[in-house]
Amino acid sequence: MDFLTFAQKQLKHAVQKIKTTMLTIVEHQPEEEDQLPWLILPSHDFRTNSITFLDFSVNEVINLKFPETQGKIICGFSMNWLIMIDDGASEITLFSPITRDQIRLPPIMYKSMKQEFVHKAILSSSPDNSLTDYIVMVIYGESKQLAYYNASIKTWTLLEEAGSYYDDIICFEDGLYAVDEYGKLVIFNPNRCSKITVILNPSLFQGQKLYLVDLEGDLGLVIRYISDEPNIGCGTYKFTVHIQDQGKWVEIKNLDECAALVGYNQSIVLCSERLKGLKSDCIYFTDYYLDEKIKGGSQEICVFSLENCSFQSLR
């Protein structure tokens, strides 16, 4: 679907839809009770100039064209800005789909001036508020380490003391949090201290992918369990949900009237009571980004029920 044509035909609806769904998937719940958020579906094709969404309300895949995305891959969606990395480089571009503003950041360099790939990126605050008062935090490189960009001094800083193999990062309350694949949780607040602080020590998780979420005011952790056995369907066979309590991750058995949407760029928990069509106590996810080595990997979009540990394919 061409964005300009779409906007011309349904200008008021399109602007409202973008502002209250696409841009709120990681920020706030939609104001309208019957309006479900759109899920950004990952694409690893640098040649495309469009962004693919899943509209849960009608179970439909929608492509909106943005020439600004040509030659780039989305590595984050934060504070109403897309965070994209260029093809063959580690140069990051911030792009607002509403205003079409762009901010180009310098490349991330590590040790022998080697350019590094960015797996995930988030913002500490919106550049709309100030062009010099925000932080971009990233997971980068083969070892999946942490680094941050300070807009006030236009410089990247590598957080080598934080260690390696981080799975997810989130802006939550008073800081930027990161979790590694072993469950170690760290916090970084550049306004208070330039160093990483360890909140929780590593745990013996057996999951293959961890997601940080804001769970109604608590910092939550969703763990995804993936099998390389060919008879396990789409590869994912279980999810568990945890909250931090007294220095450790504690599993909770349900999400009550909420549902979690987990993705390769951001994850969010929404209240199903306000959103018609959203199933409570469920986790929505996609297998688009799964490693090619997973034999059962597919491009399915699925729902996992925490109540009965069952899966349902949406498409």
% helix / strand / coil in the chain, to the nearest 5? 10, 45, 50
pLDDT value, residue 149: 95
Evaluate whether residue 202 is within a structural domain. yes
> Number of structural domains, the chain?
1
The rounded distance, in Å, linking the Cα atoms of 277 and 213 is: 21
pLDDT value, residue 43: 65
pLDDT value, residue 75: 87
* Count of helix runs (H) and strand runs (E) in the chain: 2, 26
Evaluate whether residue 19 is within a structural domain. no
Evaluate whether residue 220 is within a structural domain. yes
- 73: nearest Cα among 293, 300, 290, 289: 289
Find all residues with CB under 8 Å of 70, minimum gap 6, and list them.
Answer: 47, 48, 49
- pLDDT tens track for 191-241: 777 789 999 998 877 778 999 999 989 999 999 998 776 555 557 899 999
Tens of each residue's pLDDT in the chain, 315 residues: 222 323 333 333 443 444 434 433 434 444 445 567 777 776 656 667 888 777 766 777 788 888 888 888 888 888 889 999 887 667 899 999 888 999 999 888 765 446 668 889 999 999 998 888 999 999 998 899 999 999 999 999 999 999 999 999 999 988 999 999 999 999 998 777 778 999 999 887 777 899 999 998 999 999 999 877 655 555 789 999 999 888 889 999 999 999 998 876 678 898 877 777 788 999 998 765 444 433 334 456 789 999 999 998 876
Evaluate whether residue 85 is within a structural domain. yes
Range of the domain at 215: 35-257
pLDDT value, residue 158: 92
pLDDT value, residue 230: 52
Q: For 106-120, give one letter per residue: b (16+ CB within 10 A) or e.
A: ebbebeeeeebbbbb
The gap between the terminal CA atoms of the chain, to the nearest Å, is 19
The rounded distance, in Å, linking the Cα atoms of 141 and 163 is: 12
Evaluate whether residue 6 is within a structural domain. no
Evaluate whether residue 58 is within a structural domain. yes
Q: Residue 34: what residue type?
A: D
pLDDT value, residue 11: 32
HSE-CB of 108 using CA atoms within 13 angstroms: 26
Evaluate whether residue 167 is within a structural domain. yes
pLDDT value, residue 9: 32
| CATH number of the structural domain spanning residue 104 | 2.120.10.80
The rounded distance, in Å, linking the Cα atoms of 254 and 261 is: 14
Evaluate whether residue 1 is within a structural domain. no
pTM for this model (two decimals): 0.83
The rounded distance, in Å, linking the Cα atoms of 88 and 114 is: 12
- 110: nearest Cα among 141, 89, 137, 82: 141
Neighbouring C-beta atoms of residue 238, cutoff 10 Å: 16
